[in-house]
Structure 1
Amino acid sequence: MPTVLITGCDTGLGREFARQYAADGYRVFATFLDPAKAANASDLAGNVEALSLDVTDHAAISELAARLSGEPIDIVVSNAGIGHPHKPFGQMDYPHWRRVLETNLIGPMKIAESFADHVARSDLRLMAFVSSRMGSVNLNLTGGAYAYRTSKAGLNMMIRSLAVDLAPRRICVMALHPGWAATEPGGRVPVEESVAGMRGVLHRAGPHHSGSFVTYHDQLLPW
């Protein structure tokens, strides 16, 4: 069966990605920010290896890539991210903004650079990044959420560039919108449904989908 690497498996979408892929027989490398949660991930049944990783720690990412150097990885799911609190204009928390950019944008780029060789050696050759429609410039009609929006808009641009740069290696790179998943108060899309939908998008993806920005129910979003 294929192999998948998933970041941000402590809770929510990442945890569900790991659970669903493992249940379908995939070999899963699941990374956790909290080492204690990685150590207690025995509830993830199947072929799951729990690993501690902070995506803002570039040395740790390089070390993990070296540790897995002999492993072809069919799918990389870059899911780790932070959002709240959304400070309004005039009350910006700039240290928090920098942390959001480090986690949501720069960390995923380091993941892409570090694991491109692993993906290129696989059969499926997929890199998926959990983005958000809040990163769409065209769809921003309500303003606010500066830190989160800019991190996801930057992520989307990064994905478009990766799609071009990795095309010679036949790696498909996609941005996925999970919907307003029930990982936070008010979320309406069940986590299981969101992840199943995103997995379906990836299952149907081919080289011609590279550089796409797609919802969990397989609808294209404007940049």
Structure 2
Amino acid sequence: MTKVLITGANRGLGLEFVRQYSAKGWDVLAACRSPESATELTKYASDNPKVELIKLDVTNEADINALPETLKGQAIDHLILNAGVLGDDCATLGEMTQSKWLEVLNINTVAPALLIQALRDNVAASEHKTIIGISSRVASIGDNGSGNMYSYRTSKAALNQILVSAARNLAEQGVKTLAVHPGWVQTDMGGKDATFTPQESVAGIINQAEQLTLETSGSFKVFDGSDIEW
């Protein structure tokens, strides 16, 4: 049985990942901070026996460290590191504070690193052995022509480094990683005027995950497969 674990599964891209993976016949571990208040996810899971809800606050190290025991013996083919924040109130000069910075970095950067650390053996034990980090084009230093978005840009650039390092460290176990820009998507984060639907973005990301090889592991791509400069 193929299995995927998705963080931030309660809405937006995360919820669409749940829908598309379950439609493909995969077993889905849908992780979010408060499953009891994730109405849409809970309803979907109740109608789809292949979806299991997991309570996971990615800012809580104890929650992350408990995963290896909770998921002991379970192979995870795809680990989708989707949970993230935009850091709107820590985006420009004049409004940044230490506490705002640390909140963004904890969710977007530290949590994915700790999740890879906690679940690397589960991923290595699977057939597909794939870790996908939801990054952003604004993480590209070469593509930064407008500045601003300080905390978001840097947190995602650091996430990219984590994924490249994991690609190097886990290659001997056959584990592959990919940093993916999902596009400007019509979610709560992207807004209704965004270019792509969650369905289009997630379908593209899953396709890239399934095409990933050890040779292309550690790369930075758009959901359509085009490369992004670092």
TM-score by length of 2: 0.93
Structure 1 unpaired stretches of 5+ = none
Is 1:180 the counterpart of 2:184 in the alignment?
yes
Alignment of 1:129-208 (within 5 A): 129-183=133-187, 184-185=190-191, 186-208=193-215
Is 1:221 the counterpart of 2:228 in the alignment?
yes
Deviations 1:55-109 (A, max 9, x none): 1111111112211011011110000000141532122143122101000000000
2:43 match: 42
1:122 match: 126
Deviations 1:126-147 (A, max 9, x none): 0110000111111111000001
Checking the alignment, whether the CA contact within 8 Å between 2:35 and 2:53 is kept in structure 1 is no
1:82 match: 85
Structure 2 unpaired stretches of 5+ = none
Structure 2: how far apart are the matches of 1:98 and 1:115?
Answer: 24
TM-score by length of 1: 0.96
Q: Secondary structure at the match of 1:197?
A: helix
Q: Which runs of structure 1 show a deviation greater than 4 angstroms over 4 or more consecutive aligned residues? A: none
Aligned length: 223
1:30 match: 30
RMSD: 1.4
2:66 match: 63
Structure 2: how far apart are the matches of 1:170 and 1:75?
Answer: 13
Pick aligned residue for 2:95 from 91, 110, 121: 91
Deviations 1:104-134 (A, max 9, x none): 0000000000000001111110011000011
Report the residue type matching 2:7 in the other structure: T
Structure 1: how far apart are the matches of 2:181 and 2:207?
Answer: 13
Structure 2: how far apart are the matches of 1:209 and 1:18?
Answer: 25
How far residue 42 of structure 1 moved from its aligned partner, in angstroms, is 2.7
Structure 2: how far apart are the matches of 1:158 and 1:172?
Answer: 12
Report the residue type matching 1:210 in the other structure: S
Structure 2: how far apart are the matches of 1:191 and 1:74?
Answer: 22
Q: Secondary structure at the match of 2:85?
A: coil
Q: Secondary structure at the match of 2:88?
A: coil
Report the residue type matching 1:71 in the other structure: Q
How far residue 38 of structure 1 moved from its aligned partner, in angstroms, is 5.1
Structure 2: how far apart are the matches of 1:152 and 1:105?
Answer: 7
